[in-house]
Amino acid sequence: MMHVDAGRAANGRRRAGPGADPGAPGAPGGSKPHALLLPGRGYGAHQPLLHYARRCLAEAGHEVRVLQWPRGELGADVVTRLVEEAAAALPRGSAGLVLIAKSMGTHAIPWAAEHGVPGIWLTPLLQVPAVRAALPALPPGSLLAGGTADPTWDGDVAAASGLPVLQLEGADHNLEIPGDVHRSLAALGRIVTAISETLVPSFREDLTPIRGLPLR
């Protein structure tokens, strides 16, 4: 069974109850756009990449819901079905929806391309044919991020997609630099900046552009 964690806001506070103002931040039925966070198989929403990605989404005005994967076998068909069910349960469906996914969660890329849903795709599984084929159809507002030491990453495929890309030299599947905590923290900062720039284009006006494959 799929579980969607919407009980707490990204800042950890309890969401407003049924008697709250429907237009208030975090209140059910409010006007905030929604985002679904799709963790990796072994990389949860509490870990650095997704923790800060969730904060970026919240600060950009999104109500974030986290999908919890079921135990047992988890493949592309299961991920797609659960994302589709979660989106259908939102007040506006996939309209205005943003996805942010890590690794296993990026099996949702073909679904996102089909439904015109933008996403932040962290360590996408570019060796999967269906994922790779769907990249050019992803809408504006999407971002690919990966590292050259990650066997699931392919910089040439990412660059050919026509999407904004952040490629981190020497980063592994956790987008960390093995054996170098300072470069790992710097990489995390670059990822957070890239996410903010993607969600809020005006954000980049106050920042030095990110190096690597250019953000278009």
Does 7 have pLDDT greater than 60? no
Q: Is 127 helix (H, G, I), strand (E, B) or coil?
A: coil
Q: What does the alpha-carbon distance between residue 78 and residue 122 come to, in Å, rounded to a whole number?
A: 19
Q: Does 204 have pLDDT greater than 90? A: no
Token readout for 145 is: 């991020």
The pLDDT of residue 47 is above 80: yes
**What does the mean pLDDT of the chain come to?**
83
Strand ranges inside the chain, DSSP E:
3-5, 34-38, 63-68, 98-102, 119-122, 143-147, 165-168
State CA 128 to chain mean position distance.
Answer: 18
pLDDT band at 81 (very low <50, low <70, confident <90, very high): very high
Q: What is the pLDDT of residue 35?
A: 95
pLDDT band at 116 (very low <50, low <70, confident <90, very high): very high
Q: Of 60, 63, 49, 48, whose CA–CA distance to 10 is shortest? A: 63
Q: If you count DSSP H runs as helices and E runs as strands, how many of each does the chain have, helices first? A: 6, 7
Q: Is the pLDDT of residue 191 over 90?
A: yes
**Alpha carbons 116 and 6: distance in angstroms, whole number:** 23
**Average pLDDT over every residue of 13-38:** 52
Local structure of 176: helix, strand or coil: coil
Tens digit of each residue's pLDDT (9 = 90 or more) over 117-158: 999 999 999 999 999 999 999 999 999 999 999 999 999 999
pLDDT band for position 71 (50/70/90)? confident
Tell me if residue 69 falls in helix, strand or coil: coil
Rounded CA-CA distance 192/56 in Å is 7
Other CB atoms closer than 10 Å to residue 32's CB: what's the count?
17
Q: In what order do the strands lie in the sheet with 63-68?
A: 3-5, 63-68, 34-38, 98-102, 119-122, 143-147, 165-168
Q: Per DSSP, which regions of 82-215 are E strands?
A: 98-102, 119-122, 143-147, 165-168
Residue 12 pLDDT > 90, yes or no? no
